[in-house]
């Protein structure tokens, strides 16, 4: 009997291990499809008053998700009051035209999708909107910022945001994550991001804004942990303050990846060299989370039809007081500091100067790092030698001027009454000469950048 008992125990242990391994493994496409089919069947049979969701929202709910249900639910991190997005969906349902604008980095550009313009997240989402709301005219505008950070996009916003935009998808997390600030309270990136949010929300047509958070460098190849992203808490706090919905690529795919020992994750949905740029599966996950957000908004409109609540919320101005005080008092300084830190991060080990005029940044080529640095040096005079020469010259001139000034004051104190007039004149001339020399020697094109550099961009 003992051998038989031992065999039963062994069988149970093997069975338990098999069950655990199956539950820990990523879901198969068939399992995902069945899961969504069951969920959608339940959604379509919901009765609200005299309406059945399946009759009212049939085309809106007609979509095949590629990502697991739980992860897409988690990807919709924050919905907010959502009045502006409710207006967009309401307009779509009524057949009104809308203009949807995607502003962001490499993911928004769609370069690493297998068919850019067809299976990147923006193209997929636009296809869904056209199919889900067949009576509406959907006009898409892709405003790719390349590798530019939020500070540059905020300064050059008129180049990225059409005046008649109805819906904006803002995807800047990956770009800003290259030079993440160590400070959670006074970070340069968060301040620049807030200026960008305020610029979009304050646009003439009060567009709806969805913060479409992609993954930062290294998050998909196991080298960057889940929490190391400006997405949270900095940008999450701004989303809460301004009542802006958030969808998260990180949340959408994290559970499907392979966990690592350092709290990381490896996924085949992104380019492994940088660990963040989405491939076609990653774009599909990003489209899934945007579609789900739209479906949720349409369902919400059944529960609470569009009306005074929405129009009054939309009519409210962007708060006069920002989260970060100097965003309103010194916006140029905020954008300049953030830009300078970013330039230093991507140009390491070189040292470059800040642009005197932030508008100069709008004309650069942000398609890749090499092109950005080349055009930066061509159009904004920031050569390293000039920086060092200007710094050394300014220090020397300051010391010389200070010594001359002190000497003049001492001479003035000890001169006799008889030579008082001549000594005063001589001191004044010495001071003027020192000042002219200081001004001539300290000429510079900007402020030295002191941010910590990174090599892996």
Beta bridge partners of 136: none
Q: Do 215 and 93 reside in the same domain of the chain?
A: yes
CB 372 within 8 A of CB 339: no
* DSSP calls for 367-423: SSHHHHHHHHHHHS---HHHHHHHHHHHHHHHHHHHHHHHHHHHHHHH--STTHHHH
Distance CA 394, CA 391 (A): 5
Is residue 176 in some structural domain? yes
Is residue 3 in some structural domain? no
> Nearest to residue 88, comparing CAs of 42, 129, 38?
129
In the prediction, which pLDDT does 26 show?
65
Is residue 449 in some structural domain? no
Q: Do 36 and 120 reside in the same domain of the chain?
A: yes
Question: What are the φ and ψ backbone dihedral angles of 141, each rounded to 5 degrees?
Answer: -135, 120
Is residue 22 in some structural domain? no
Q: Do 151 and 272 reside in the same domain of the chain?
A: yes
Provide the token pair at 188.
């340069």
CA distances (Å), origin 363, targets 104, 154, 382: 17, 14, 15
Q: Do 257 and 169 reside in the same domain of the chain?
A: yes
Is residue 417 in some structural domain? yes
433-453 burial code (b ≥16 CB/10 A, e <16): ebeeebeebbeeebeebebeb
| 299, 315, 331 - which closes a domain | 315
CA distances (Å), origin 302, targets 41, 46, 165: 17, 11, 25
Q: Do 428 and 309 reside in the same domain of the chain?
A: no
Q: Do 82 and 214 reside in the same domain of the chain?
A: yes
Is residue 378 in some structural domain? no
- pLDDT tens, position by position, for the chain (457 residues)? 445 554 444 444 333 333 333 334 567 888 888 999 999 888 888 888 778 887 889 999 999 999 999 999 999 999 999 999 999 999 999 999 999 999 999 999 998 999 999 999 999 999 999 999 999 999 999 999 999 999 999 999 999 999 999 999 999 999 998 877 666 566 888 999 999 999 999 999 999 999 999 999 999 999 999 999 999 889 999 999 999 999 999 999 999 999 998 889 999 999 999 999 999 999 999 999 999 999 999 999 999 999 999 999 999 999 999 999 889 889 999 999 999 889 988 887 777 888 888 999 999 999 999 999 999 999 986 544 344 434 444 443 444 344 444 444 444 444 444 454 445 344 444 444 443 344 334 333 332 222 222 223 2
In the prediction, which pLDDT does 184 show?
59
Positions of E strands within 53-173: 76-78, 98-104, 138-144, 167-171
Torsion angle, alpha carbons of 104, 358, 454, 173, to 10? -20
In the prediction, which pLDDT does 372 show?
94
Q: Do 128 and 239 reside in the same domain of the chain?
A: yes
Q: Do 287 and 391 reside in the same domain of the chain?
A: no
In the prediction, which pLDDT does 85 show?
98
In the prediction, which pLDDT does 328 show?
87
Q: What is the number of domains present in the chain?
A: 2
In the prediction, which pLDDT does 185 show?
63
Query: In CATH, what number is assigned to the domain containing residue 114?
Result: 3.40.50.1110
Q: Do 307 and 404 reside in the same domain of the chain?
A: no
Q: Do 422 and 300 reside in the same domain of the chain?
A: no
| 290, 315, 340 - which closes a domain | 315
437: CB partners within 8 A, 6+ apart: 397, 400, 401
Q: Do 200 and 63 reside in the same domain of the chain?
A: yes
Torsion angle, alpha carbons of 389, 390, 396, 402, to 10? 180
Is residue 379 in some structural domain? no
| 289, 315, 341 - which closes a domain | 315
Torsion angle, alpha carbons of 102, 104, 107, 111, to 10? 80
Report the SS3 class of residue 77: strand
How far, rounded to the nearest angstrom, does the alpha carbon of residue 267 sit from its chain's CA centroid?
Answer: 21
Is residue 59 in some structural domain? yes
130-158 burial code (b ≥16 CB/10 A, e <16): eebbeebebebbbbbbbbbbbbbbbbbbe
CB 267 within 8 A of CB 275: no
Q: Do 88 and 186 reside in the same domain of the chain?
A: yes
In the prediction, which pLDDT does 121 show?
97
Distance CA 391, CA 125 (A): 51
The domain in which residue 47 lies consists of: 27-315
CB 372 within 8 A of CB 346: yes
User: Beta-carbon neighbour count of residue 50 at 10 Å?
Assistant: 5
């Amino acid at each position: 009997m003992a051998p038989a008992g031992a065999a039963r125990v062994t069988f149970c242990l093997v069975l338990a291990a098999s069950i655990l391994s199956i539950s820990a493994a990523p879901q198969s496409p068939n399992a995902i499809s069945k899961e969504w089919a069951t969920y959608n069947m339940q959604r379509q049979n919901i009765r609200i008053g005299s309406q059945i969701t399946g009759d009212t929202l049939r085309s809106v709910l007609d979509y095949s998700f590629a990502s697991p249900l739980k992860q897409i639910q988690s990807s919709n991190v924050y919905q907010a009051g959502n009045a502006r997005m409710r207006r967009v969906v309401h307009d779509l349902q009524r057949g009104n035209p809308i203009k949807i604008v995607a502003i962001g980095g490499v993911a928004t550009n769609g370069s690493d999708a297998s068919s850019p313009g067809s299976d990147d997240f923006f193209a997929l989402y636009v296809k869904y909107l056209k199919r889900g709301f067949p009576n509406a005219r959907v006009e898409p505008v892709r405003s790719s910022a390349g590798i530019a950070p939020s500070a540059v996009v905020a300064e050059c916003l008129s180049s990225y945001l059409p005046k008649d935009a109805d819906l904006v998808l803002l995807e800047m997390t990956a770009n800003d994550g290259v030079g993440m600030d160590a400070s959670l309270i006074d970070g340069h990136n968060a301040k620049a991001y807030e200026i960008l949010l305020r610029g979009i929300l304050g646009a003439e047509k009060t567009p709806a804004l969805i913060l479409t958070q992609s993954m930062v460098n290294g998050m998909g190849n196991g080298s960057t942990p889940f929490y190391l992203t400006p997405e949270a808490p900095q940008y999450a706090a701004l989303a809460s303050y301004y009542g802006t919905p958030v969808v998260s690529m990180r949340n959408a795919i994290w559970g499907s990846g392979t966990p690592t020992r350092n709290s990381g994750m490896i996924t085949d949905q992104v380019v492994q060299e940088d660990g963040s740029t989405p491939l076609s599966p990653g774009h599909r996950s990003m489209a899934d989370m945007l579609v789900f957000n739209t479906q949720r908004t349409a369902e919400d409109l059944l529960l609470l039809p569009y009306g005074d609540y929405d129009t009054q919320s939309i009519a409210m101005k962007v708060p006069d007081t920002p989260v970060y005080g100097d965003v309103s008092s010194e916006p140029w300084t905020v954008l300049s500091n953030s830009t300078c830190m970013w330039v230093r991060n991507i140009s390491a080990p070189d040292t470059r100067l800040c642009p005197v005029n932030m508008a100069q940044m709008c004309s650069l080529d942000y398609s890749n790092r090499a092109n950005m640095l080349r055009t930066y040096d061509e159009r904004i005079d920031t050569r390293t030698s000039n920086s060092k020469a200007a710094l050394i010259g300014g220090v020397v001139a300051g010391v010389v001027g200070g010594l001359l000034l002190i000497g003049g004051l001492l001479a003035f104190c000890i001169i006799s009454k008889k030579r008082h007039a001549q000594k005063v004149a001589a001191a004044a001339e010495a001071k003027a000469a020192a000042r002219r020399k200081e001004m001539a020697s300290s000429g510079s094109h900007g402020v030295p950048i002191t941010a910590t550099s990174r090599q892996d961009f």
